[in-house]
Amino acid sequence: MKEQKTSKKPILFYCIVAIILLMLLNALVFPKVLQPRVTEVDYGTFLRFIDEGKIKTVEIQDEEQRIAFLAVDESGEEKVYITTAMNDPNLVDRLYQKDSKIAFSRVLPQENSPLLNFLYTWILPSVAFYLLGLWLMRSMQKRVPGGNNAMTFGKSNAKIYVEAKTGKSFSDVAGQDEAKEALSEIVDFLHHPDRYTQIGASLPKGALLVGPPGTGKTLLAQAVAGEAKVPFFSISGSEFVEMFVGMGAAKVRDLFQQANEKAPCIVFIDELDTIGKKRDTGGIGGNDEREQTLNQLLTEMDGFDGKRGVVILAATNRPDSLDPALLRPGRFDRRIPVELPDLAGREAILKVHANKVRLSPGVDFNAIARATSGASGAELANMINEAALPAVRNGRKAVSQEELEESVEVVLAGYQRKNAVVSEREKKIVSYHEIGHALVAAKQEGTAPVHKITIVPRTSGALGYTMQVEAGERLLLSREEAFQRLATLAGGRAAEELIFGSVTTGASNDIEQATKLARAMITRYGMSETFDMTALETVSNQYLGGDTALACSAQTAAKVDEEVIALIKDAHHRAYEILSSNQALLHQLAAYLLEREIITGEEFQKILEEN
Ligand code: ADP
Ligand code: MG
Ligand code: ZN
């Protein structure tokens, strides 16, 4: 049996485990099961039992110097007792005198013959283990499609999804219309290849879905599987990375062999970057195993004939780290961007997921979508769920607008910390800080309207925050608007300075955001006089956080720092000016917030207009 040879190691391992288990069973369980429970008593008690006539059967075990007997105890139950035999020649007479019905026979069960013992303690459990193992192997085999051996190392564990299985279709994917269009072309090709071949068009062999995490790349691929009605092989890049050297490459080979047999079909490789990273040029630390896997993938993609109808889809959120060889024509030559959803997209995604929960009438999805700019599809899906949970907790039958708005805040800022202890003085500082932001925002033309101000602490550590929501979608930001945003960020700190004459750590997040924005204005958006339209930083990781790398000399970097500092100082100054010329309003609003803890945008506007 060949397959057993290849898997010697695990079988040995299982044997050892089985033997250890058997030993434990023998030591702990079997003795109790096989032998009756025996109570040891002293000779006096034995004699008392005789006198009271409670003994049924007696066995005198000469060789062991002990007596076993069956007697009825106080509760009327028959029990086996054991006692040490004394040198008592009258014992037998005594027993007869008392009650001649006592039987002399075996009380303890017969010791099993060594052979039987062996059978019970070793052979039977072994057979049981063997059968269990066999059953496990069988059920494993069933899950490996096309594989007729269990333990098929090197076989890809690609799951074949046939349409019914994923149960997803394009209608489950909201927004992402361009991506859906590009993918439906592929689906169409698989259904009517002759239409394309007649004209002589051949479809791209591979399409790469790129975009930030949670935008629905995996979901899109599953939808394609649902729509295409052809076999769908799905494997994640990390599944190629094996414990054993060379197995990754073998898996790739096997995957494509299976795909070729099942053509027309779709192969989907999720998280392609795990195997598709750029190969290092020499040096130590190169990952041979990964390179082999990648090489095998490149070879296979060249090797098969696109006309047979094998389409390779892949998804990644790190396209910049992929090996260029993967991206050249003939391989993943079509890129399908799956970006963060825009306003309409967010609204559509909220609606798709809201279909699964019951909503109270009149829920305004547009408002929620406007408040969640920058959120991914996964986050939006999460928000709907986070809104449904408190609805259940509050014993409601449907999800209301309030719960949806609260869940937006939960996803963006964490849960409310109901039992957080914030002293009155700190609350006062936080109130002025937040009103500082809101007032600076309101007194400038180009900023988003204030939607909500709160000083309820959140699990993210925020002691309060001011939520601004744009009226529509914003795609461009002018220099002046960016500067106003900086001033708004500085507003919290400025209010603290103006009212309390000192500053707190509460502005740390504002400082971080302001610095990021100011840096980007100078190094990437060309918004400084000194550097004009020079790119001084490059974004290296577009979809994952957007880390930047300096692309200028050290002297220039020092000058950039100066510019950033000057810009932020300017903005800070503007915020301070705005607040000091509106001090009465600042006091009034802060007192109101301190009392209410939450102010809505309308309330805020009303107070502003009254003054
Ligand atoms: P990724 O791009 O990281 O592969 P997924 O496809 O795994 O993201 O998306 C995660 C979840 O987010 C999906 O299961 C779905 O519930 C939700 N989601 C993301 N984008 C969309 C979308 N465009 N329409 C509907 N749901 C979406
Ligand atoms: Mg994914
Ligand atoms: Zn702040």
Is residue 348 within 6 Å of ligand 1 at its C-beta?
A: no
Kindly give the pairing relationship between strand 310-316 and strand 334-337: unpaired
What CA–CA distances, in Å, run from 561 to 64, 520, 536, 550, 555?
95, 12, 12, 12, 10
Q: What angle do CA 212, 214, 218 make, to 5 degrees?
A: 100
Beta bridge partners of 59: 68
Query: Which ligand does the CA of 465 lie closest to?
Result: 3
Q: Is the CB of 378 under 6 A from ligand 1?
A: yes
Answer yes or no: is the C-beta of 585 below 6 A from any ligand 1 atom. Answer: no
Residues 545 and 120: their CA atoms lie apart, in Å, by: 64
Distance 174 CA to ligand 1 centre (A): 9
Q: What is the pLDDT of residue 518?
A: 95
HEC profile of 475-534: CCCCHHHHHHHHHHHHHHHHHHHHHHCCCCHHHHHHHHHHHHHHHHHHHCCCCCCCCCCC
Rg (CA), the chain: 39
CA of 610 from ligand 3 middle (Å) equals: 25
User: Is the minimum distance from the CB of 176 to ligand 1 under 6 angstroms?
Assistant: yes
- The 10 Å Cβ neighbour count of residue 551 is 13
Type of residue found at 141: Q
* Interval between CA 404 and ligand 3 midpoint (Å): 24
Given a contact cutoff of 8 angstroms between Cβ atoms, the answer to whether 568 and 518 are in contact is yes
Helix (H, G, I), strand (E, B) or coil at 40: strand
- The whole-number pLDDT of residue 149 equals 39
- Residue nearest to ligand 1 atom 6, measured at CA: 216
Distance 580 CA to ligand 3 centre (A): 18
Beta bridge pairs of residue 269: 235, 314
Give the model's pLDDT for residue 185: 87
Counting ligands in written order, which one lies closest to the CA of residue 215?
1
Look at residue 95 in the predicted model and tell me its pLDDT. 74
Q: Is 166 near ligand 1, meaning CB less than 6 Å away? A: no
- 85 CB near ligand 1 (under 6 Å): no
pLDDT of res. 150: 37
Please tell me the predicted confidence (pLDDT) of residue 143: 54
Q: How far is the CA of 219 from the centre of ligand 2 (A)?
A: 7
Sign of the alpha-carbon torsion through 183, 186, 192, 198 = positive
Nearest alpha carbon to residue 605 among 442, 378, 470: 442
Nearest-atom index, ligand 1, CA of 270? 4
What residues are labeled active site?
A: 434
End-to-end Cα separation, the chain, in angstroms = 91
Which residue's C-alpha comes closest to atom 18 of ligand 1? 377
374 CA → ligand 3 middle, Å = 20
Cβ of 352 less than 6 Å from ligand 1? yes
Predicted local distance difference test score (pLDDT) of residue 101? 62
Low-confidence ranges of the chain (pLDDT < 50): 1-8, 144-154, 161-164
Asked whether the whole model's pTM tops 0.85, one would answer: no
Q: Is the CB of 381 inside a 6 Å radius of any atom of ligand 1?
A: yes
Q: Is 215 in the pocket of ligand 1 (CB under 6 A)?
A: yes
- Ligand 3 centroid vs 512 CA: distance in angstroms? 10
Taking the CA of residue 217 as reference, the ligand 1 atom at the shortest distance is 2
Select from 170, 173, 215 the residue to mutate for testing ligand 1; criterion: most ligand atoms less than 8 Å from CB: 215
Residue 147: the pLDDT is 41
Please give the single-letter amino acid code of residue 414: G
Taking CA atoms, 15 is separated from 18, 20, 452, 496, in Å, by 5, 9, 65, 71
What pLDDT shows up at residue 258? 83
pLDDT at residue 516, rounded to an integer: 93
For ligand 1, atom 27: residue with the closest CA? 377
Q: Which long-range contacts (CB under 8 A, 24 or more apart) does 571-575 make?
A: 571/483, 571/486, 571/487, 571/489, 571/490, 571/514, 571/518, 572/487, 572/490, 572/493, 572/494, 574/440, 574/483, 574/487, 574/490, 575/436, 575/440, 575/487, 575/488, 575/490, 575/491, 575/493, 575/494
Find the angle CA(320)-CA(326)-CA(332) to the nearest 5 degrees.
Answer: 95
Q: Which two tokens stand for residue 571?
A: 């903005």
Tokens of 30: 């079997």
Q: How many CA atoms lie within 13 A of 402 on its CB side?
A: 6
pLDDT for the residue numbered 443: 94
- Which residue lies with its CA nearest to atom 14 of ligand 1? 219
> Smallest Cα–Cα separation from 236: which of 223, 253, 248?
248
Backbone torsions φ then ψ of 208, nearest 5 degrees = -115, 120
* Cα–Cα separations (whole angstroms), residue 605 to 224, 246, 465: 48, 67, 17
DSSP code per residue over 333-354: -EEEE-PPP-HHHHHHHHHHHH
DSSP line for 202-268:
---SEEEEE-STTSSHHHHHHHHHHHH-S-EEEEEHHHH--SSTTHHHHHHHHHHHHHHHH-SEEEE
Choose which residue among 168, 169, 170, 219 to substitute to test ligand 1 binding: the one with the highest number of ligand atoms within 8 A of its C-beta.
Answer: 219
Q: Which atom of ligand 1 lies closest to the CA of 379?
A: 12
Contact 172, 356 (CB under 8 A): no
**Of all atoms in ligand 1, which is nearest to the CA of residue 222?**
6
Please give the Cα distance from 129 to 260 (Å, whole number). 39
In this structure, which amino acid lies at residue 125?
A: P
**Ligand 1 contact, 349 CB (< 6 A):** yes
